Amino acid sequence: MKYLLLLFVLISPSLWAENGKKLCVFDPYGNKGEMYQLLKDYVLEMAPHGVLFDLIPYTDERLAVEAYISKGCDLVAATDIRLRPLVPFSGSISAVGALPTIQNLRTLLLTLNRPRAAKYLDDGEHSVVGIFPIGSAYLFVDDRTIDTLKELKNKKVAVLSYQPDAIMMTKHVGAKPIKSDLMTFAKKFNKGWVDACYAPAVVYDVFELNKGLKDKGGIVQYPLAQLTFQLVSHSGTLSKKQEKISRKVMLGMFDNAFSIINRHEKKIDPDYWIHISEEDKDTYREMFRLSRLGMKEEDVFDKKVLSIMRKIRCSDNIAAIECSRKIARE
């Protein structure tokens, strides 16, 4: 039966589209993009479990999410930052500095795939039915001498208008946040309208960020956050059993997604990477911690997932200052 259903999906695209659940997928490259292609693999993996999908590509993330909110889609695949207002628990995964490494992210996703975590992934309105990585967010600067936080003072930084933690962080270091979105931040950096921006390596080519770096720019090789691509459905779109399977299938795509990330990072000219000292990393970590605490009190981040991520960081680095009992905990 499993193989008959898969064969049906492959040879009957018209029936598939007619009967499939509408899945709106954000990818800057549309149906030619790597995120879209990963979702095609997901569709094939889910077919034997009785779920068919009609993939609808969007090159504008805002429009994809708006289509989902207006019930034009049964599910949407987009970045956690854009989805945070709908799913604050999983949307807080990209909290600044919360997961220093992609291996920390893997640990978190394994934890969230345990049965007892399911209650945090479905609030009765929206259900998170899959998460995979899209890479570390790095700081891109047009002058590689801007390699410490204090040197960002009075600089213009393109930030996502719907990411309050980034806006707060930018102001905290004395820089000026220039509100943008995924469709405009790169243009502002490339045209020299801002001095810095942040992005994962997977969008380096599509947004031509090398134009903003030019000869003097660089990329600070210290992750600001671990960004994820999340699959969210209207609650009840999939059965509880299918939701569980969906999360497992998406987790199984982690290594494929990581390979894509790794390939894109290696494609960047090595001379662009700016290596910072351990002392500067400590400064980043402490500022990130204070930022998360402040955002938690303002309900920007989900408190439960912040606590889980802190435990993951401390299990990885028990000697860290934040793991002391004397330090305010997230």
Domain range summary for the chain, segments of one domain joined by +: 2-136+227-267
What digits encode the pLDDT tens for the residues 238-272? 999 999 999 999 999 999 999 999 999 999 999 99
Predicted pLDDT of residue 168: 87
328 — pLDDT class (breaks 50, 70, 90): low
Question: pTM above 0.85?
Answer: yes
What number of CA atoms fall less than 13 Å from residue 238's CA on the CB side? 29
71 — pLDDT class (breaks 50, 70, 90): very high
150 vs 123, which has greater pLDDT?
A: 123
d(CA 287, CA 285) in angstroms, rounded, equals 6
d(CA 131, CA 278) in angstroms, rounded, equals 31
Domain with residues 2-136+227-267, CATH architecture = 3-Layer(aba) Sandwich (3.40)
Residue with tokens 């207006």: 70
14 — pLDDT class (breaks 50, 70, 90): very low
d(CA 187, CA 165) in angstroms, rounded, equals 22
Contacts of 93 (CB under 8 A, 6+ apart): 80, 99, 105, 108, 131, 226, 228, 305, 309
Predicted pLDDT of residue 15: 43
